[in-house]
Amino acid sequence: MAERPIWRGHLRLALVSCPIALYTAHRESSNLHFHFINPKTGNRVRTVTLDAETDEELSRRDLARGYEFEKDRYVLLDPEDFDKARIESNATLNITKFVTLDSIDPVYFDTSYYVAPDGDAGEDVYAVLREAIRETKRVALSRVVISRRERAVAIMPMDRGLVAHTLYEARDVANPAPIFANIPDAKPDPDMVALAKQLIDRQSARFDPADMEDRYEARLRDVIDAKIHGARLAAPSEAAPDDGKVVDLMAALKRSLGQTTQHERPARAAAAKARAPATKSKPAKPAAPTTRKRA
């Protein structure tokens, strides 16, 4: 079944534009979901919407949205009120500026959406914009309205397409200054930093999405499967807690480097063996002809 877009509109840079559609990049449906159950009956518990004062049960279709402007005082908004707040980004991702990726702190990134051409029209414009952004190593900044909320987005190339990441507002991000205030300003020992850099280099590799597996959820799925089939799953053994104390940091760094070296040796040996050309066995020398004496 084809994916359904969550937004349709145009991507525009100056006077150039192309029709695009946004698709959700994350699948919440793949996560485990639980229901509240009455253990006495085995039945699901139903959530009921009640009036906070009269306890009258209400249907969601009979409700209105309200903004609390004073304690227990609300102003009600109807669909027409929300329509009055509509802005241009409802239908257009207008690129306002370009920045380098490292200028956006990762703490500002939120949800991701795939940006794809919407139909055949404008595919050439889409491809030109994608390659221009890729080759300039920039990120395009724009705004989009999703679920009646305008969000700033950072648009960047991904494979043959583009991906848009919604960005938190500055007021949504906690100020790190008081949290980091007590961290000493003293420079660490350069020799220790050099050893730590060696350790980082030894353990550097390509990013693999498989590394991001939620091991707790995977284990929980095993527990659920075992209960469904009436089996028992043994609890994992708990590792001894780490007290976090490092008596000799230099020695610990050197030991860590030694451990990575030991772990690397078998892999390096296997890689070297794979790279080495196959040795050709020397052909056996022909046997010398035997001469028989005539009687």
Per-residue confidence of the chain (295 residues) as pLDDT tens digits?
468 999 999 999 999 999 999 999 987 766 788 899 999 999 999 989 999 899 999 998 889 999 999 998 999 998 888 877 777 667 899 999 999 999 999 999 999 999 999 988 889 999 999 999 999 999 999 999 888 788 999 999 999 999 999 999 999 999 999 999 999 888 888 988 998 899 889 888 888 888 778 778 888 888 888 888 888 877 777 666 666 565 687 888 788 888 755 555 555 555 555 555 554 444 444 444 444 444 3
CA 203 to chain centre: 21
- In this prediction, residue 115 carries a pLDDT of 97
Residue 39 in contact with residue 138, Cβ under 8 Å?
A: no
- In this prediction, residue 271 carries a pLDDT of 53
- In this prediction, residue 229 carries a pLDDT of 86
- In this prediction, residue 287 carries a pLDDT of 43
d(C-alpha 13, C-alpha 68), whole Å: 39
d(C-alpha 116, C-alpha 215), whole Å: 32
Q: Which one, of 236, 234, 255, lies nearest residue 246 by Cα?
A: 255
- In this prediction, residue 108 carries a pLDDT of 96
Tokens of residue 163, six digits = 């991906």
114: left (phi over 0), alpha (psi -120 to 50) or beta: beta
- In this prediction, residue 164 carries a pLDDT of 97
In which residue are the tokens 């795939």 written?
A: 114
CB atoms within 10 A of CB 165: 20
d(C-alpha 271, C-alpha 88), whole Å: 57
CB atoms within 10 A of CB 139: 20
- In this prediction, residue 3 carries a pLDDT of 82
- Domains of the chain in sequence order: 1-28+35-174 (2.40.290.10)
Q: Which one, of 91, 100, 96, lies nearest residue 14 by Cα?
A: 96
Predicted TM-score (pTM) above 0.75: no
3-state secondary structure the chain: CCCCCCEEEEEEECCEEEEEEEEECCCHHHCCCCCCEECCCCEECCCCCECCCCCCECCHHHCCEEEEEECCEEEEECHHHHHHCCCHHHCEEECCEEECHHHCCHHHEEEEEEEEECCCCCHHHHHHHHHHHHHHCCEEEEEEEECCEEEEEEEEEECCEEEEEEECCHHHCCCCHHHHCCCCCCCCCHHHHHHHHHHHHHCCCCCCHHHHCCHHHHHHHHHHHHHHCCCCCCCCCCCCCCCCCCCCHHHHHHHHHHHHHHHHHHHHHHHHHHHCCCCCCCCCCCCCCCCCCCC
d(C-alpha 26, C-alpha 6), whole Å: 12
- In this prediction, residue 294 carries a pLDDT of 42
- In this prediction, residue 82 carries a pLDDT of 82
Residues ≥6 apart with Cβ < 8 Å to 136: 98
- In this prediction, residue 214 carries a pLDDT of 77
